Amino acid sequence: MGPSLPYDANTSIAAQAALYAAGAIPTEEMQSLAQQDAVGDQFGDWDHTVERLADVVPAIEPAPAIKQRLLERIAREATDAASKPVVVRRDEGWRPMGPPGLSYRLLFADAARQRMTIQMRAEAGSRIPAHKHRGVEECLVMEGDLSDGDRTYFAGDYFRCAEGSRHEDQTTVNGCVCVLITALNPLLLSAAS
């Protein structure tokens, strides 16, 4: 039996969202929780609150015994996770991304580093609205074409955008499939399925 989780079926949605934002939920459970629309609606508020708390609450050094137990647990979990491959099959997990013609699937979420890897699919003629990058974004075009202003990327092309940079609308003529490594986005994680 796995470790007991900090919530159960009776825990309120607000409490679950707060625990998620604080990183108090294991990654696998976090991904499952993020798919619940009701919880996802509260992620943005809680993420902002946790970020502000981190700025104002002083760091506290844990007692040596607690620190040792935490370090042992982290090492144990890292060893367990490293020994098991994570597989996402070709047709698994696709969800609408918001704008018409766009869908994505979560391949990996790293709460500790606030990063995620997604695969995005855009139908021919679709548009990705202008957006600002909350962190570094890497994109590898796997199929089709993706245009960003006067640049067009094709299968095999890679581009990287700096934190704080901005994309204008991106478009595709023939459709595309891309792999993106980008900042963790709870709202994207919780998009309607």
Q: For 147-168, give one letter per residue: b (16+ CB within 10 A) or e.
A: ebeeeebeeeeeeebeeeeebe
Q: How far apart are CA 133 and CA 183, in angstroms?
A: 8
Least Cα distance to 92 among 71, 121, 114, 112 occurs for 121
- In the chain, the amino acid numbered 122 is A
Pick the CATH number of 95-189 from 1.10.510.10, 2.60.120.10, 3.40.50.300, 3.40.50.720: 2.60.120.10
Q: What is the overall mean pLDDT for the chain?
A: 78
Q: State mean pLDDT over 8-13.
A: 57
Q: How far apart are CA 146 and CA 165, in angstroms?
A: 18
The domain locations on the chain are: 13-82, 95-189
Q: How far apart are CA 145 and CA 173, in angstroms?
A: 7
Query: What pLDDT digit, counting tens, does each position of 46-55 carry?
Result: 555 656 666 6
Tell me, rounded to whole angstroms, the distance of Cα 98 from its chain centroid: 15
Query: What pLDDT digit, counting tens, does each position of 67-97 carry?
Result: 888 888 877 777 766 677 878 888 888 988 8
